[in-house]
Each structure stands twice: as C-alpha cells, then as structure tokens.
Chain A
C-alpha cells in the first residue's frame, strides 16, 4: 500500500519535473525563436510588433543587410580572424602545456603561477597601453594588430596541460627508448592522445574570437575591417527602430557559431565541466 502511494508520488514528481524542465527550455529558446521571427517580419519595430506566425514573411531585411552594409566582407573578417586565432592558440597552448607537463626546469612552477595570474588581469586594465603599443608599431587598423594579443591563451595552456598530465608517461618513455626526441614525442605521442582536449580548445578559441568585442572595437576603426559584433552594435545606431534588420544581423552572426556548436556540443560541455574542477 505504502509502496504504491510512494511510486504514484514519484510518478507525479517525475511528470512535474519534465513539464517544468521542458517549459524552461522553451523559455530559454524563445529569444532565439523571436529573433528569427522578427528578422522575417517586414517593418518590425516601426510601430509593429511581429506575430508568432508572421503574416507576410520576407527575407527583405537580409537583402538590405547585405546591400546597405559590407556584410559579406564583415563575415569574412570575423572568419579569418577566428581561424588564425584558433590555429595559433592551438600551437602556443600545446607547446606550453608540453613544457609544463613534461619538461622539468628551474623556476617552472613560478612561471606557471605567473601565467595563471595573468588570467585575472582584465583586458580593460591593458587597453590604454595595448592601444599605444600597437599604435607605436603602426598596427592600428590592421588584422595583425587585432590578432597579436589573442595569440596566447592561458585557458588553453591550462586545459591542455591537464590533458597531457593524463597521458601515461610509459608512452613517452617507450618513445624515448626508441630514440625519439622531445619534438617527436610531442608530435607523435602526445598530440594524438589529447585530441578531445584539442577539439575543446578549437571550439573555445574560435568562439572567443568570433564573439570578441572590446579589443576589435578599439583596434579596428575602419568600417571595412569591422568584425560581426562591432558591425551589429553599429546597426543599432543606424536602424534605431528597424528591428527586423538588427535581428537579421543577429541571426547571421549566430548561425556559424551554432553550426560549430552543434558539431562539437559534446566537447564544449565536457570542456567547461572539466576546465576548473576535478
């Protein structure tokens, strides 16, 4: 009797849980849905609130976005910067992680501590001197200027070091016995064994570059060099009340990230989960 009552209570609890969680998910997803709906509702914002099912859906806002703005160029800018950042960060993070995990040297823990402390330094603390530094080198309004400060990632070093620490030492010792030096061990043993961590870092590096705002805003002042987040912030000034255009821009900027995310969701979530706590 008691058991049956408990299980009925359990069943009700499970149903309530499902309903709440799914309702929550719908609420979480709603802003994305509403963005898409707005972007295909002509005249949205000009005194018009779109309907859940738009009456005359049109891609007009997207057409205007690409005809009135250099949006193709802007997407290419963001894509190029993100790709270079990702490749360079993978390289600098992997080599540093190998040094901290496998190459004991004097002062190693002190240097690692300094690396980690830099994580606490807000970019804003650096903005004035960085700006001046890049100006001195003549790198304002250049892609290189936007890229240079992104070349090292403390997060990447930390993540990959943890991954390399998990690779059994016997593997590289066997390689050493076969006559492999550190460069070969790194390339042939370590890198293939930390592929999941490399995938996590790829997504994160790409994402942080794709979404970064403050530094590109400061260094890339010419309109043709702009990246997506800055162009989007700019749309707001130009089309104050034409929300269909602003939302079309938002959709365009989210889609590539969404594709990458769906592809690598498993790694991203694992990467976050394992990044700090063990």
Chain B
C-alpha cells in the first residue's frame, strides 16, 4: 500500500481545534525576526522536498504536455496538440473506461465486504483482534506480491482456483489470459488486498456510534434491517464518504497490480490510464502525450473529488 493515499482531510471543521495565541503587536523587530527564523526552521525540512519534488514537477508536467518530446532531443512546442490527439484517439476513451470498470467492480465489493466484516467484528467475538489482524494482513503486503500470488492462484492451466473448480466439474475460465476475465481477475486481487483497510475505517466509524440510538430503535420495534438502514448507515456516512473518496482517488491511479498481473493485456483488455502513461513515456518515448494524459487524469481526479466534497452535504451527516 502506498501510504500517500491513506488520508484525505475531512473538509469541514478541520482547521486546528486549538486557537493559536495572538502574536503581540509590540514585539521588537529582533524578537519577530527570531520567530520568523524559528518558523522557517520547522517548515523548511518538509517544504523543500514538496516544492522540489511535487509542486515543481507538477508545473513542469504542464509545460511538457504542450510539447512534442522523446526525452532526448530538444522539445518542440505544439500547444494543445497532444490533448487534441489524445481526445481523438479511441484508446484514450478505452483506458478511462477500463479504469472506470475497475472502480465500479472494486468499490461495491470492498465496501459491502468491509461493512459486513466491520459489523461482525464489532460484536463480542472471541479472538477478535487476531481475526482483525488476519483480515488486515494483505493491506501491508506489496501490490507486486499480491499480483503475483493471485496470478498463480488464478493460473488457467494449473492454478488452485481452477483445480478446485475442476474438482466440482466446473471448467474454470482463462482468468488473466482471457480478455473478458482479465479485469475481474485484477478486481478480485485488489479487493482481497484492500478489504482489511476498509474494514478498519468502518470499524472506527461503528465504534463512534452511540449505542443509545440502537436501544431507542429497538424500543420502537425496528428490526435488524431497519436498524441498518435507519441508524447504522446514516451515522456511518462520514466513514463511507472517506472510503469512497480514497477509493476513487486510488482507483484512478491503479497501476502496480495491473502491471504485474496482466501488463494491460491480453490485447489491451485491462489497459488502464496509468499503464498507458507509463507505456507512452518509457516504451514509446512520447513524453509530451504522456504528460498531457497525466494532467487529464489529475483533472478527472480533482473534478470527481470536488464533486464529492460538494455533494457530501446531501448525504453525509456528522453527528
């Protein structure tokens, strides 16, 4: 798991809860200068890498995206040609569609699975922490290992899954060798890996729910399903929001598991946006187009995140 994705700020009320003490206006210039230096001393260790290795490259990527460039010879300015070329190329729509397919398959699977697990593990259960540990274990495993292991489990000829299916007289599919099954194979592996992560987020949300609500609902005669839809899910909406935002941001950036499981194949059937960026850059040396596609991806992520943040008022209840 790459950690950069673990956290997204909850946009409301997230400014520092502690009121900072007001600076005194009448401080001497010397005191002020010392204070400014102190602030710099604490801030620069993080600011330097962020400016040099995130913000700077981001601007540079925008610049590169306006050029034709093979990473070696000088750049040729082409304006928005790269964007126009990408938009006209049917493969661009394909890679975004495949990425969308991945997200649509993966998200409901990990959310419903994670919710069921969180609810089960939130009850009095023997060996609860051991079980949580087992479910969380894949989260700390690298994508590459997960992809390799699942490639082996789902090996069409002698993988264990098809061997077991064969035992029941079922002719298992070709999984990652079959264009129709390549993406489901990736979705399966990814869901297995991330289930524990979603479970823990939702578990933290469940534990924050005041049990009085359930008692009140029971007194009113609400059954299990009614309590789920009228108490649990609404009160879990901040955690749900968090899981969806994070999963979408990650989903659009899906790469490691695709690279290791199918490489985008067979026949481009599981080619996703990032694999395409990687191929454009390092296989075809078309850095301008790769940067343009990168920025298109960033814009899509930004837009979807903003829509969600705007839309959260309609269904996310804090309380």
Contact = CB atoms under 8 A, between A and B. Distances in A.
A103 B160 contact: no
B132 A127 contact: no
A69 interface: no
Contacts of B47: 96, 111, 152
Given A48-B158, A92-B45, A129-B60, A122 B253 contact: yes
A45 B111 CA distance: 34
Given A124-B255, A126-B61, A132-B71, A103 B148 contact: no
Contacts of B205: 277
A127 B294 contact: yes
A127 B204 CA distance: 35
A126 B54 contact: yes
A277 B10 contact: yes
A66 B241 CA distance: 46
A11 interface: no
Given A120-B249, A207-B140, A214 B255 contact: yes
B115 interface: no
B77 interface: no
Given A103-B42, A278-B10, A31 B3 contact: no
B80 interface: no
Given A211-B143, A229-B144, A95 B42 contact: yes
B38 A158 contact: no
A205 interface: yes
A220 interface: no
Interface residues of A, number: 105
Interface residues of B, number: 110
Interface string A146-158: 0011011111011
A130 B57 contact: yes
Interface in B198-244: 200-201, 203-205, 238-239, 242
Interface of B: 1-10, 15-18, 20-23, 35-36, 38-39, 41-43, 45-47, 49-50, 52-58, 60-61, 64, 71, 117, 120-121, 123, 125-126, 129, 131-145, 148-153, 155, 158-160, 163, 192, 195-197, 200-201, 203-205, 238-239, 242, 246, 249, 252-253, 255-256, 259-260, 273-274, 277-278, 281-282, 287, 290-291, 294-295, 297-298, 301-302, 305
Nearest to A204: B3
A64 interface: no
A272 B200 contact: yes
B238 A273 contact: no
Contact of B16 (A28, A101, A243, A274): A101
Contact of B9 (A34, A38, A158, A228): A158
A181 to B, nearest CB: 8
The CB with the most chain B CB atoms within 10 A, among A127, A154, A155, A276, is that of A276
Given A99-B43, A125-B297, A31 B197 contact: no
A129 B144 contact: no
Given A48-B158, A182-B38, A273-B203, A232 B140 contact: no
Contacts of B53: 126, 130, 133, 148-149, 151-152
A24 to B, nearest CB: 7
B125 to A, nearest CB: 7
Residue among A45, A214, A258 with the highest chain B CB neighbour number at 10 A:
A214
Contacts of B281: 127-128, 131
20 contacts: A17-B125, A18-B126, A34-B152, A95-B41, A115-B46, A124-B277, A125-B294, A128-B61, A129-B61, A130-B53, A131-B281, A133-B57, A149-B49, A152-B49, A154-B4, A186-B42, A213-B144, A254-B141, A273-B201, A276-B246
